[in-house]
């Protein structure tokens, strides 16, 4: 399924449960919800199962129709019967995991087909349920999604790398048709990471390795910032528990130490926004523990020498309609202009991701200002739509003026690459062709470079001037001897940079 079609499915395809605030409808909704718990095996009706199901129901009852809620309930009943007597490493009935996976996706308000597939995502692998039974009960669409996230089972492979490559290949074949497969897989991995403490150490290391190599970068590429951040933090916590705890303590002390300074920086901004009639919320968001650790390692500096431990987000509600209809970009720039009236801006700190979004579709204005304490504060300015897109990524419909690139373009490009890899005639896992192709697509953020005529060209990071020449035309690439970058004569091996 195309991301743009997926965005259209948010909110369900039918009229949601109406007037749920009335006492009668609350009782009717609760009765329907609890009726499905009563149909799963009695030994699996633990408090943890009821709590997880109630939480999932509370997230979907306001946007799914009664018929869709009933479909979700039937998926719970089948999953509960299939996973009867199975336990997680936590000691909970296995169905708790399936419900929590669906609950993660419900936070993104995905359609009932995706949620039903999430509840059933392990039945083909771990139970006697067949794909034919799934098709008969829930339709081909749900069955295809479940099959897409099912591992290959106990097929003989020469090495773990072969197993991983074949597993990824199968998932990507389905992803090329429907990206919801990957969303279910990411939710599955996220819940597994949340409960990783109960696993043996060797399995913890294996799972965190997979998460670092594949799942966290994939979430980043799809613009799922919250999922990506939590996966990175959890992985770091289990890989390096002492470093994780050390940075966590430093951040807790730093938050208390700098609170008054940050509040004094924020207060004048909130005041000037209010005076100018701008409906906005300003938040102080501390960077994740993993992000702090990564920046310390990359820059080879101690914590106290890091800049922008906090990010100040200004999220505004656009002024639309009537004579005051102003583009989101202009409203971002207006807020930026007001900030420059208050504080001194750091030269070269302005980054316009509204006109030139990041590879994962992220949009905002970034800038840095001097605080009264003599430190630089990083400010991100974005609309409510941009903020939602930064959290839900490929699930949210993009603005028509996002420009070239973004999640949709990357998914389309990745699909082409995947088809080449999956159907590559000379595929041999010993040469690492498939896994290297995955790495190239996941880890290399795109950059935008410009032709002499001002046309934008999208290239992977670390692309050279010769790569640029081949994008223009193969004849130019075949005969290129040197390049001119920003007016300077350079080698064709020169690595290009953004802009």
pLDDT in tens, the chain (499 residues): 554 455 444 444 455 555 444 554 778 888 899 899 888 887 777 888 999 999 999 999 998 999 999 999 999 999 999 998 888 888 889 999 999 999 999 998 889 999 999 999 999 988 889 999 999 999 999 998 898 887 544 445 555 566 666 666 666 666 666 788 888 999 999 999 999 998 999 999 989 988 888 888 888 878 888 999 999 999 999 999 999 999 999 999 999 999 999 999 999 999 999 999 999 999 999 999 999 999 999 889 999 999 889 999 999 998 765 545 578 999 999 999 999 999 999 998 999 999 888 767 789 999 999 998 888 999 999 999 999 888 877 676 544 444 444 445 555 655 555 555 455 444 444 445 556 656 556 655 667 777 777 777 777 777 888 888 888 888 888 888 888 888 788 888 888 876 5
- Pairwise CA distance, residues 421 & 166, whole Å: 11
- Pairwise CA distance, residues 341 & 52, whole Å: 50
- Pairwise CA distance, residues 287 & 197, whole Å: 24
Q: Is 363 a catalytic residue?
A: no
- Pairwise CA distance, residues 361 & 394, whole Å: 8
Distance between start and end Cα atoms, the chain: 32
Q: Is 387 a catalytic residue?
A: no
For residue 172, give the nearest of 214, 235, 124 by alpha carbon.
214
* Catalytic residue, candidates 74, 107, 126, 345: 126
Helix (H, G, I), strand (E, B) or coil at 450: strand
* Catalytic residue, candidates 125, 141, 210, 212: 125
Is residue 172 within a helix (H) or strand (E), and if so which, with residue range? helix 160-175
Per DSSP, 344 falls in state P
| pTM for the full predicted model | 0.79
Say if residues 390 and 382 touch (Cβ distance below 8 Å).
yes
Is residue 465 within a helix (H) or strand (E), and if so which, with residue range? helix 465-472
User: Could you tell me whether strands 310-316 and 376-383 are parallel, antiparallel, or unpaired per DSSP bridges?
Assistant: parallel
Say if residues 270 and 282 touch (Cβ distance below 8 Å).
yes
Is residue 377 within a helix (H) or strand (E), and if so which, with residue range? strand 376-383
């Amino acid at each position: 399924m195309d991301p743009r079609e997926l965005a259209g499915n948010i909110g369900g395809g039918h009229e949601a449960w109406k007037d749920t605030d009335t006492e009668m409808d609350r009782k009717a909704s609760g009765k329907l919800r609890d009726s499905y718990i009563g149909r799963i095996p009695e030994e699996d009706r633990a408090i943890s199962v009821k709590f997880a199901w109630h939480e999932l129901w509370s997230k979907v009852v306001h946007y799914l129709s009664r018929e869709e809620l009933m479909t979700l309930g039937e998926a719970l009943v089948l999953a509960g019967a299939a996973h009867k007597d199975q336990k997680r490493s936590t000691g909970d009935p296995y169905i708790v995991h399936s419900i929590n996976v669906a609950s993660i996706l419900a936070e993104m308000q995905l359609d009932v087909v995706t949620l039903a597939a999430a509840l059933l995502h392990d039945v083909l692998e771990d139970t006697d349920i067949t794909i034919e039974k799934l098709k008969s009960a829930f339709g081909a669409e749900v069955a295809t999604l479940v099959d897409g996230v099912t591992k290959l089972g106990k097929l003989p492979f020469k090495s773990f790398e072969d197993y991983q490559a074949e597993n990824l290949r199968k998932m990507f074949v389905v992803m090329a048709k429907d990206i919801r497969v990957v969303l279910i897989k990411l939710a599955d991995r996220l819940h597994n990471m949340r409960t990783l403490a109960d696993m043996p150490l060797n399995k913890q290391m294996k799972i965190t390795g997979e998460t670092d190599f594949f799942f966290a970068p994939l979430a980043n590429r799809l613009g799922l910032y919250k999922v990506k951040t939590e996966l990175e933090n959890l992985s770091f916590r289990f890989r390096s528990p002492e470093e994780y705890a050390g940075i966590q303590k430093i951040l807790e002390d730093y938050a208390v130490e700098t609170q008054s300074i940050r509040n004094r920086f924020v207060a004048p901004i909130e005041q000037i926004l209010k005076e100018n009639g701008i409906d906005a919320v300003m938040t102080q968001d501390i960077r994740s523990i993993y992000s702090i650790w990564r920046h310390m390692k990359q820059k080879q500096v101690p914590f106290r020498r890091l800049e922008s431990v906090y990010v100040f987000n200004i999220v505004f509600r656009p002024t639309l309609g009537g004579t005051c209809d102003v583009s989101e970009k202009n409203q971002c720039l207006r807020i930026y202009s007001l900030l420059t009236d208050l504080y001194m801006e750091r030269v070269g700190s302005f980054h316009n991701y509204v006109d030139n979004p990041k590879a994962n579709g992220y949009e905002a204005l970034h800038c840095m200002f001097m605080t009264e304490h003599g430190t630089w504060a990083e400010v991100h300015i974005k609309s409510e739509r941009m903020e939602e897109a930064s959290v839900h990524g490929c699930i949210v419909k993009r603005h028509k003026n996002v420009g070239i690139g973004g999640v949709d373009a990357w998914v389309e490009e990745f699909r082409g690459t995947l088809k080449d890899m999956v159907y590559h005639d000379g595929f041999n896992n010993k040469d690492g062709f498939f896994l290297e192709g995955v790495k190239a697509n996941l880890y290399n953020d795109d950059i935008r470079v410009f032709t002499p005529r001002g046309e934008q060209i999208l290239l992977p990071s670390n692309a050279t001037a010769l790569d640029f020449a081949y994008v223009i035309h193969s004849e130019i690439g075949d005969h290129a001897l040197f390049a001119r970058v920003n007016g300077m004569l350079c080698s064709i091996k020169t690595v290009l940079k953004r802009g």
